[in-house]
Structure 1
Amino acid sequence: MNKKIITSVTTFLILASFSILNSCGDSPKKNKETKEVVVEETVYASDVIPFFNDWKLVLGDGSNAGIANNFENKDFFYTENDGAGDWIVFKAPNAGSTHGTSNNTRTELAQIKKWYPKTANDKLTATLKVMNVSATGDARVAASYAVVVGQIHSADAYENEPLKIFYKKFPGHTKGSVFWHYEINTAGDDNSKRWDYSTAVWGNDFSVVGSEENTYPEEPKDGIALGEEFSYEIEVKDGIMNLTFTSEGHDTKTFTKNLIESEYTTTAAIPEQTQKLFVPIGQDGVERKEAYTGEGCFFKLGAYNQTNGKSPEVNKNWCSGAETHGGDIHKQYEDGNYAEVWFKKASIVVSDAAVSNEGYFTKND
């Protein structure tokens, strides 16, 4: 763990005077004994990025830590120094107690106040590096070996997600992919038919999977390695989501998505990627015309592990069949079956129209 070392020096002067007959020329002798007292002082996440009053924290064991000022948990949430500076570590195993009804563990911040896309003027920025993704999983499952590092989540209605930012790297590859998802806000009464559409930033999108359980696709040439820094900026203003991704040595990528007027209101509009991934498993819904209009949304940031131990027979896109050691967190950490993400910078801008949203901990995803 990251500690600051404080050295305090206390000097003790021991003076002994000896009066020796016929030796008046002798001077007093001085002994100086110096003792160093080493005190370890924890560097908290709130010392690295002082913005925690805007968030509450969920840990990788499903517990709610609340506002995380002057807080650490050595299994899930702490700080490290890489020699150049301090970072906040978010860590989540493949399995354990999960939050809500989700299949996946997370150590993740959720914004306390919600805002509305149509009237929003809100922004989240972050600089991070992914340090680990699961060592196991089924390569045919799109979510295997992936972690979500930033989100926009709805707090209302179906509580769907207009944005998830992923990092994914297959075993044996040096470089992984960064991509983002838009999840439709399903029309009608059956939200089980919702689906995601994935867009590549660097490397591949979500749909590029292995041909067999342990057979991997070709490594992306323009991907991001573990430990390689990248940044994202999410701005939502007047119903439009603007995304900017930057990383040294890579092209800057920008994207725009309308959050208040859907382009997926008919079956004919379902993209080819969705036809391939989601329609075969019955997720073939359409989106309501107004998309996320009228729904309160909030940002999320951290490590939302997408790899889990559920059988791919349950859902070939989201159930990874990875090693979980029966939920033993430390055994998973020992053999690489976890997600770990480090953040060194982040900022949030909240519009005046944002309102309190204390109920977000009931969210399923």
Structure 2
Amino acid sequence: MKNNTIALASLLLAFSFTSCKNTTKKSAESTEESTNENKSTETVFASDVIPFFDDWKLILGDGTNAGIANDFENKDFFYTTNDGKDDWVVFKAPNGGDTHGTSNNTRTELAQIKKWYPKTADDKLTATLKVMNVSSTGDARVASTHAVVVGQIHSADAFENEPLKIFYKKYPGHTKGSVFWHYEINTAGDDNSGRWDYSTAVWGNDFSVVGKTADSYPAEPEDGIALGEEFSYEVVVKDGIMSLKFMSDGHETKTFTKNLLESEYTTKADIPEQTKKLFFPIGQDGVERKEAYAGEGCFFKLGTYNQTNGKSPDENMNWCSGAETHGGDIEMQYADGNYAEVWFKTASIQVSNAAVSNEGYFTKND
């Protein structure tokens, strides 16, 4: 009897130990599954991918200023994605909707919180990106149609003109699009209505290559960049000189320089033929002040500045696209390709010690 009691006690002890062990194992497995689930649903913010947002305010595609965008996302305009290899920051803007400042165009774009002066500048912006969509509609005769600006230098003062805009443009049905950059004159005098841009091709065509009719397209560029194809730019402004560098695998690296302190366009005779062809017919035939952008605070912008809009080409044959906007309905525009979308993988900014607050620009335009 005593031996039977001892055996029974031993059996119960073993069962208790095994049961406890199994419960502990199940508990550990449950904790691990919960941890993995939390990891998979944890939001990756843009500031996790490119940690430089302390230097910017974010303007969204509905015209609002979201401020400094650390640990921030907006599923309509600004969020992250993964292409199976890398995390990317997505900037998205419809053809039509509320805009920021006086622009006709929507943007989801970073604007630098400090401004610097070209003469004393030692400032730099770099980015690696791929354009994923440009508008599916628009008048092909309008130079800005089917285009997006992915980087800028903007003046914060006077007329707030733009010494640099970096464009990507691709026509429907084409595989390859064009990358080009613009210099906008800083107009002499008190009337800025005569301002114009001069466009320089990087890969593919410049801004001036347009369709002969509203629904016909020029030839596809042989050396262009496809949607989803990576390219990089580097912008340096130092001692009054703007230096540009464009890079992409399989394409020739291109470099350019532009003096921001002394104008090339102080008389009508200086104005390039490209400008006369595009801008003179619509009355934009001004000249630039001799000192160009000297004395004006400038700042960088980066993101998606959609150049296609719903305004009638009768208003301006360079900037008014006549594209579909569905009355500003964002969901409908996104559904049928009437938007611009750009993904950024890396970016950096170098801000000189001479840079000062740019708050006046935001006060004026928000």
Query: Which TM-score tier does this pair reach, normalised by the shorter chain?
Result: over 0.9
CA distance in 1, matches of 2:279, 2:101: 24
TM-score normalised by length of structure 1: 0.93
Structure-2 residue corresponding to 1:194: 195
CA contact (8 A) 1:195 1:284 kept: yes
**Counterpart check, 1:360 vs 2:361:** yes
The answer for the alignment partner of 1:150 in structure 2 is 151
Q: Which amino acid aligns with 1:285?
A: G
The aligned counterpart of 1:5 is none
Answer whether contact 1:94 1:337 (CA < 8 A) is retained. yes
Q: Is the 8 A contact 1:176 1:203 kept in 2?
A: yes
SS at match of 2:359: coil
Task: Provide the C-alpha distance between the structure 2 equivalents of 1:213 and 1:156, rounded to a whole number of angstroms.
Answer: 36
Does the residue aligned with 1:331 lie in a helix, a strand or coil?
helix
Question: Which residue number in structure 2 is paired with residue 3 of structure 1?
Answer: none
Superimposed CA distance per residue, residues 170-222 of structure 1 (whole angstroms, 9 cap, x where no aligned partner): 00000000000000000011100000000000000000000111100000000
1:269-348 alignment, distance < 5 Å: 269-348=270-349
Aligned to 1:61: 62
Q: Which residue pairs with 1:225 in the alignment?
A: 226
Q: Aligned letter for 2:255?
A: T
Deviation at 1:41, TM superposition (A): 1.1
Verify the 8 A CA contact 1:100 1:362 in the aligned structure 2.
Answer: no
Give the Cα separation in 2 of the matches to 1:150 and 1:187: 25
User: How far 1:24 moved relative to its partner?
Assistant: 5.6
Q: Find the aligned partners of 1:193 and 1:79 in 2 and give their Cα distance.
A: 40
User: Paired residues, what number?
Assistant: 347
Cα displacement (A) at 1:364: 6.5
- Partner Cα distance (1:364, 1:218) in 2: 39
1:274 & 1:105 partners in 2: Cα distance? 25
Q: Provide the residue aligned with 1:9 in structure 2.
A: none
Unaligned runs of 5+ in 2: none
> Between the two proteins, what is the percent identity of the paired residues?
80
Normalized per residue, the structure richer in strand is 1
Cα distance between partner residues in 2 of 1:101 and 1:175: 32
RMSD: 1.5
Structure 2 letter corresponding to 1:93: P
1:84-124 per-position Cα deviation (integer Å, ceiling 9, x unaligned): 11110000000011111211000000000000001111100
Alignment match, 1:253: 254
Aligned mates of 1:193, 1:362 — CA distance in 2: 26
**1:82: which partner in 2?**
83
The answer (yes or no) to whether the contact 1:151–1:300 under 8 Å persists in 2 is yes
Larger radius of gyration: 2
Segments of 4+ moved more than 6 angstroms: 19-22
- SS of the residue aligned with 1:300? strand
Question: What is residue 159 of structure 1 aligned with on the other side?
Answer: 160
Aligned ranges 1:167-178 → 2 under 5 Å: 167-178=168-179
Secondary structure of 1:118 counterpart:
helix
Deviations 1:294-334 (A, max 9, x none): 00000000000000000000000000000000000011001
Task: Output the CA distance in 1 between the equivalents of 2:364 and 2:133.
Answer: 26
**Shift, 1:361, TM fit:** 2.4
Q: Which runs of 5+ in 1 are unaligned?
A: 1-18
- The change in CA–CA distance for 1:22 and 1:350 in structure 2 (over 3 A counts) is closer
* AA matched with 1:232: Y
